[in-house]
Amino acid sequence: MAAKPDIAESAVPTAGMSTELVREVAGVSLTTQRQYVIKRKFWSFLERIFHVWTVDGQLIMYIKHPLLKLREEFMVYEDEAQTRPLLRVKSKQVIAINFSYEITDANTGALLGSVRKQGLKSILRDKFIVLDANGQEIGYAEEQGASVLRRFFPWLTSKHAIFANNQQVAFIEQKFRFFNKEFTVDLQQSSMDPRFVLAIALLALIAEARRENG
């Protein structure tokens, strides 16, 4: 008889004192997944919290993004207890127009790649340049659709696409929800590390949240 996976369930407080059941399944492989859901609350004061789920409800990434740190840096964990670090995302600069972020494996320190925001070009449409571990430009991530309208009407849903090596490797689309922000992420078959692709998606959504709250 096949062994059943280890499943841990915990109740997590949400808006209105309700609870959300979090299901963590040991050994979920990002290399076998192609669709994800990213969620965060509408409003945060000291930090933005992101959950990344598989479509069948398994938590694979948990992020507390600080709002008040001088140099932007945060960890990506596999669990809400923050006992299993997965990635480290760190800005290279304290003050800059084109911020650059290094994304490393939290356990080995290996650099997966980096992302550089195009500050001036992002005024009307967010855009990021994607570089590999050797610092070579391999693609970009870009806001799609009615980006200008979203600057004036932030409740309009957003879309982003990630391109690398002359192909689209991911598409991020917001779903309209009343009490939180929810995004679907579809990954295409590619040679890119899916952890790196999801980190790029998270940086795009963090930039969007910063603009909406700013």
pLDDT 10s per residue in the chain (214 long)? 444 444 444 444 444 434 444 444 445 567 778 899 999 987 666 678 999 999 888 999 999 987 766 568 899 999 999 999 999 999 876 555 667 899 999 999 999 999 998 766 667 788 999 999 999 999 999 999 888 888 888 788 999 999 999 999 999 999 988 888 999 999 998 989 999 999 999 999 988 887 776 6
What does the DSSP 8-state code read for residue 73?
Answer: E
pLDDT digits (tens, 9 = 90+) for 84-115: 999 999 987 655 566 789 999 999 999 999 99
* Residue spans per domain, the chain: 7-213
Q: Which residues contact 51 (CB under 8 A, 6 or more apart)?
A: 22, 38, 39, 40, 59, 61, 62, 63
Please tell me the class of the 7-213 domain. Answer: mainly beta
> Please, where are the H alpha helices in the chain?
147-152, 194-213
Q: The pTM is what?
A: 0.81
